[in-house]
Amino acid sequence: MDQKNNQPPKKPDGKRPKFSIWFALMITVALVLIISTIYNAVSNSQYTQTTFSEFMAEAEKDNLAEVEIRYDRVVYMTKAEAAKHPSQQKACFTGLPNGDILGLARELDVLGTSVNVEIVEDNSTIMMILYYIIMFGAIFGIMMLLTKKMGGGMMGNIGTSKAKVYMEKKTGVTFQDVAGQDEAKESLQEIIDFLHNPQKYTEIGAKLPKGALLVGSPGTGKTLLAKAVAGEANVPFFSISGSDFVEMFVGVGASRVRDLFQQAAKVAPCIIFIDEIDAVGRSRDSRYGGNSEHEQTLNQLLGEIDGFDSSKGIVCLAATNRPEILDKALLRAGRFDRQIIVDRPNLQGRLDTLKVHTKKIKLAEDVDLRKIAQATAGAVGADLANLVNEAALRAVRKDRKAVNQEDLLVSFETVIAGTEKKNTVLSDTEKRIVAYHEVGHALVAALEKHSQPVSKITIVPHTSGALGYTMQMPEEEKYLKTSGELLTELRTLVGGRAAEELVFSVQTTGASNDIQRATALARNMVTLYGMSDVLGLMAPATVSNQYLSDQSYLDCSQETSALVDKEVQNILNTCYNQAKGLLEANRNLLDEISLHLLAKETITGDEMMAFINPPKAEEATEE
């Protein structure tokens, strides 16, 4: 049963370092200074350096052949030098007294020198300024490009969040676009009401919560819900991701927060949506790491939330999948004291989500969305949206005018189980082992009382790395599982390995995923659900994140921890032996079904059940 976990990858915990625009500016200025110094040194070396008084002495003696008064220096040549070689090096001095170019020209005139005075002042000053500007611009541009390439993206990073804040005047999303999530919608309804008519609330003196925290796994539609609130209330929607606040430079994050709220205040009533608030709202205690930049940003955020006047109609919504790591101060009354759970959709929710996303898609007559919804237990809204899109793409690839059930089923496998990878070539022996392995899962499941019916068995390899898988489809959504059902699940999981051992007397790597999942499940039974005889009701583990499956960590003594390991091993061994026994007792079925699977590569649950409960003789002839 190498089904894939269909959890989308966690969003990166955006703490990427960024280069500040100031950094680029500083480097630019430094480079310009260095270059102009070098330029001066080089151009000075072309001339013999003299002083103003030396120059005046030559002038009084009418010894000058030519004089060029430039913006920053006077370049001249004495008659003696000019007579020697026409191309003789000229002399120059810098620092005209009082910078008085015209004065100098007049003075030379008064002295009655026969020299040809050329003033190149204006032009070259402008040229020089232009030259500096262009050089500055070029270097600055290069710096920007470079830092951007380094992953910075520093446009508008000087404290203003303009480049990162997304403001939508009209989101165009309404509650109709959000399938299921009725409880969340109900909780948000009040906020919409408030945004419609803030006076109604302030007249009575009611204080509305300034913010609400949307809590749920990635892809469950938190952003969508926030947009829908803005859409329903017909107010602008500001969104920013918490990770955008996290900066390398102290103070930048805080000024961004300030800026965000200032911008929002200008267009109130409006919604501010902070995605991944855990990136900034992480608890300040050092357990989760912290630094002063992060603290400043968080303090600023707390200050802004306290400070803004909610009677103007600003509502701050935030999303996270890790509420447990948020700073307690964020969750205090008057801040994000409302938590709205955005759950993974149940069967009806998934069906509704599929309906929402197939609304604009042409569906063939054979499409049965309920079947798809049944098959996608555990999928979140984003998975389903993705699935529908994949199906539509497949229909286009196959040159069809409408999406049919096969498209949906195949894309279900693409999205949730990985694409079929027909070109992984298995040897015949490998194929036989995989077939027996999968039938081992399926047969244990089929012969057990509490199990979910098998819907499909395949030995077509998938890109996910699974060489085959057995798909089980629950008849109805389950919220509670009995220990009996969990043990059945365990036996089903180890059934693959049991079949390999029973038939081929080998152990293969193919069972690794099964074994990991079985171990995790058995461990949870012992440490979280109180389902072991030895430890009884004691739960030696603490759930660290109830929104992302059952992640937990052990906090108990070493002796207890050893006991847990022993008990987990016990449960697994018992289940394994039971599964093996069950398969041994039904060896005929195992062989028959495996051979059938080998021949067809993919069989349905019904095909398998026909082996287990053969139809009566008369009915069978109908086939």
Q: Give contact residues for ligand ADP (rule: CB under 6 A).
A: 178-181, 216, 218-224, 319, 353, 356, 381-382, 385
- Which of 343, 339, 341 has the alpha carbon at shortest distance from 477? 343
- Least separation in angstroms between residue 453's CB and Zn ion is 17
Query: Quick one: what does residue 514 bind among ligand ADP, Zn ion, none, with the CB cut-off 5 to 8 Å set by partner type?
Result: Zn ion
Q: What is the residue type of 4?
A: K
Contact 180, 345 (CB under 8 A): yes
Closest to Zn ion by CB, 487 or 518: 518
Helix count (H) and strand count (E) of the chain?
A: 23, 16
Length reported for the chain: 623
Contact 395, 402 (CB under 8 A): yes
- Least separation in angstroms between residue 509's CB and Zn ion is 11
Distance, CA of 608 to CA of 610 (rounded, Å)? 5
Closest to ligand ADP by CB, 235 or 379: 379
Closest to ligand ADP by CB, 391 or 579: 391
- Least separation in angstroms between residue 345's CB and ligand ADP is 6
Distance, CA of 313 to CA of 195 (rounded, Å)? 6
Q: What is the residue type of 285?
A: D
By three-state DSSP, how is residue 226 classified?
A: helix
Residue for token digits 């220096």? 73
- Least separation in angstroms between residue 330's CB and ligand ADP is 18
Closest to ligand ADP by CB, 183 or 366: 183
- Cα 175 to the chain's mean position, in Å? 25
- Least separation in angstroms between residue 216's CB and ligand ADP is 6
Question: CB within 8 A of 446, min separation 6: which ones?
Answer: 453, 454, 608, 609, 612
Alpha helices in 45-181 (DSSP H): 52-60, 79-84, 101-110, 121-149
- Least separation in angstroms between residue 322's CB and ligand ADP is 13
Query: Quick one: what does residue 496 bind among Zn ion, ligand ADP, none, with the CB cut-off 5 to 8 Å set by partner type?
Result: Zn ion
Q: What is the residue type of 190?
A: E
Closest to Zn ion by CB, 305 or 433: 433
- Per 3-state DSSP, the chain is made up of helix, strand and coil in percentages (nearest 5) of 55, 15, 35
Alpha-carbon Rg for the chain, nearest whole angstrom, is 38
Distance, CA of 587 to CA of 585 (rounded, Å)? 6
Query: Quick one: what does residue 20 bind among ligand ADP, Zn ion, none, with the CB cut-off 5 to 8 Å set by partner type?
Result: none
Query: Quick one: what does residue 385 bind among Zn ion, ligand ADP, none, with the CB cut-off 5 to 8 Å set by partner type?
Result: ligand ADP
Q: How many CB atoms within 10 Å of residue 369?
A: 19
- Least separation in angstroms between residue 373's CB and ligand ADP is 13
Catalytic, 183? Answer: no
Our finding on whether 352 is near Zn ion (CB under 5 A) is no
Query: Quick one: what does residue 290 bind among ligand ADP, Zn ion, none, with the CB cut-off 5 to 8 Å set by partner type?
Result: none
Distances (CA, A) of 483 to 41, 498, 508, 549, 591: 86, 21, 29, 18, 30
Distance, CA of 179 to CA of 357 (rounded, Å)? 9
Which of 58, 81, 438, 448 is an active site residue? 438
By three-state DSSP, how is residue 47 classified?
A: coil
Closest to ligand ADP by CB, 181 or 594: 181
Buried b (16+ CB within 10 A) or exposed e, 64-87: bbebbbbbebbbbbbbebeeeeee
Closest to ligand ADP by CB, 198 or 381: 381
- Least separation in angstroms between residue 382's CB and ligand ADP is 4
Encoding tokens for residue 298? Answer: 């968080």
- Least separation in angstroms between residue 279's CB and ligand ADP is 14
Residues within window 507-546 making contact with Zn ion, judged by CB under 5 A: 514
Pairing label, strands 91-94, 48-49: parallel
Encoding tokens for residue 501? Answer: 């051992």
Residue nearest to ligand ADP (CB): 381
- In the DSSP assignment, the letter for residue 338 is E
- Least separation in angstroms between residue 208's CB and Zn ion is 52
Distance, CA of 563 to CA of 541 (rounded, Å)? 13
Residue nearest to Zn ion (CB): 496
Pairing label, strands 338-341, 314-320: unpaired
Q: What is the residue type of 406?
A: E
Residues within window 485-514 making contact with Zn ion, judged by CB under 5 A: 496, 514
Our finding on whether 244 is near Zn ion (CB under 5 A) is no
Our finding on whether 440 is near Zn ion (CB under 5 A) is no
Closest to ligand ADP by CB, 344 or 432: 344
Closest to Zn ion by CB, 274 or 579: 579
Our finding on whether 276 is near Zn ion (CB under 5 A) is no
Closest to Zn ion by CB, 352 or 514: 514
Our finding on whether 236 is near Zn ion (CB under 5 A) is no
- Which of 551, 553, 16, 11 has the alpha carbon at shortest distance from 320? 11
List residues near Zn ion by CB under 5 A: 1-2, 496, 514
Catalytic residues: 438
